[in-house]
């Protein structure tokens, strides 16, 4: 499962960031991130593919099963305000 948001960025105004929940037994790594980047680049235009990928154990969901992207955006804004990088 995955969700994609527009993350605020100081240089580009906004960048595409993907949040990915991996299947059991699969762990996130630099190699997996690179593999996802390369695969998505073949399917999407250059401005559409995610510049950043973050692996999560779960995504915020509503009671009806929809992803709450606003919560992911707020998390990224808080990180920027706190000066965190990841």
49 or 84, greater pLDDT = 49
Sequence length of the chain is 86
Whether 85 shows a pLDDT value over 60: the answer reads no
Summarize pLDDT for 18-74 with one digit per residue, the tens: 999 999 989 899 999 999 999 999 999 988 889 999 999 999 999 999 999 999 999
In Å, how far from its chain's centre is CA 21? 10
Structure tokens at 10: 């100081």
Query: The domain containing residue 65 runs over which residues?
Result: 2-82
Structure tokens at 24: 């059991």
- DSSP 3-state of 30: helix
Q: What is the pLDDT of residue 76?
A: 92
Q: What is the pLDDT of residue 10?
A: 84
Q: What is the pLDDT of residue 82?
A: 86
Whether 7 shows a pLDDT value over 90: the answer reads yes
Structure tokens at 1: 């499962």
The Cα–Cα gap between 39 and 24 comes to 21
Query: Given strand 13-21, what is the order of strands in its sheet?
Result: 2-9, 13-21, 52-56
- The CATH code of the domain that includes 7 is 3.30.300.30
User: Looking at the 3D structure of the chain, how many domains does it have?
Assistant: 1
């Amino acid at each position: 499962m995955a969700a994609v948001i527009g993350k605020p960025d100081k240089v580009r105004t906004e960048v595409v960031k993907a949040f990915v929940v991996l299947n059991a037994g699969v762990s996130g790594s630099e190699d997996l991130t690179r593999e996802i980047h390369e695969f998505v680049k073949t399917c999407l235009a250059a401005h559409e593919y995610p510049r950043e990928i973050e692996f999560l154990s779960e995504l915020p969901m509503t009671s009806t099963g929809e992803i709450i992207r606003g919560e992911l955006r707020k998390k990224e804004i808080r990180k920027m305000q706190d000066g965190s990088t990841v």
